[in-house]
Amino acid sequence: MSETVSRKRGRKASLSKPIILDAAQALIEKNGVGALSMRKLAARLGVEAMSLYYHVSSKDELVDAVVDRLVQKIEPPAPSGDWKADIRTIAADFRAVAVCSPNVATILLSRQVFTTGVLSLTDAVLAALQQAGLDTERSVYAARAILSYVMGALLREVHPDATASNNKSEKMDRHAETIAMTALPHVAAAAPQLLRRAGEPEYRFGLDLLLDAIEVQAAR
């Protein structure tokens, strides 16, 4: 038996679903889910693509499993009796997990994933929203709005201006000059805020604004 064949068999024998998921997650974070393929994944692992199918039946199953593993790191809180507090807790826990793997987390915005971890977290969110007084249909709408907001805020946080740091000040100066040359009084007055990101205070304000709007809807 050649040394090359022996090495390939050794890799196949050591291959496992957790190892495959680790490699898939790394590829998604590097290039996005659209660039993931079983061929590229196999090349990263040093195995034949067909050997992956002993562990996952398809790329779709693989992507769902990567997302589910991420979401399962979040422990849905027991209902506290304060639905807003429960939503804030879930959102904070999701954000803390997602910030470490944003390209995996954002898959939830474009893909319906019905796995154990995702459904468990969804159930906790729907329970809180229905406690607020929303019916089933509107609670689903509200849950999606919350996810979109949290992920939008996350993307702004983890994908800052791509400009190199040594050119960032120069670019901000150009933006300030552009604003100053406009005849838009409200934009000019808000220039200091528009030119920076407030981070956590801005995130909390936006989430509270959304939760207050949900409360108004529930009262109708």
The predicted model scores a pTM of: 0.81
Q: Under 8 Å CB-to-CB from 180, ≥6 apart: which residues?
A: 188, 191
Q: How far apart are CA 211 and CA 86, in angstroms?
A: 11
Domain spans in the chain, listed from the N-terminal domain onward:
3-56, 80-160+197-219
Look at residue 187 in the predicted model and tell me its pLDDT. Answer: 87
Specify the DSSP class assigned to residue 100. T
Yes or no: say if 142 and 216 are a contact pair by the CB < 8 Å rule: no
- Which among 206, 203, 178 has a CA at the least distance from the CA of 95? 203
Cα-only R_g, the chain: 22
Report the chain's mean pLDDT, rounded to a whole number: 88
2-53 tens-digit pLDDT: 444 444 444 555 899 999 999 999 999 999 999 999 999 999 999 999 999 9
Of 163 and 181, the one with more pLDDT: 181
Of 107 and 182, the one with more pLDDT: 107
Q: How far apart are CA 128 and CA 77, in angstroms?
A: 10
Q: What sign does the CA torsion over 81, 83, 86, 88 have?
A: negative
Q: How far apart are CA 79 and CA 31, in angstroms?
A: 38
pLDDT > 70? residue 55 = yes
Least confident of 54-58, 89-93, 132-136, 194-198: 194-198
pLDDT > 60? residue 115 = yes
Which CATH entry fits the domain spanning 80-160+197-219: 2.130.10.10, 1.10.357.10, 1.10.3720.10, 2.60.40.730?
Answer: 1.10.357.10
Give alpha helix (H) positions in the chain: 3-14, 17-31, 38-45, 49-52, 59-71, 83-98, 102-105, 107-110, 116-131, 136-158, 165-181, 185-189, 191-194, 200-219
Residues in the chain: 220
The CA distances from residue 89 to 3, 15, 74, 203, in Å, are: 54, 37, 10, 14
CATH class as words, domain 3-56:
mainly alpha
Look at residue 163 in the predicted model and tell me its pLDDT. Answer: 38
Q: Residues 187-202, buried b or exposed e (16+ Cβ, 10 A)?
A: eeeeeeeeeeeeeeee
128-139 tens-digit pLDDT: 999 999 999 999
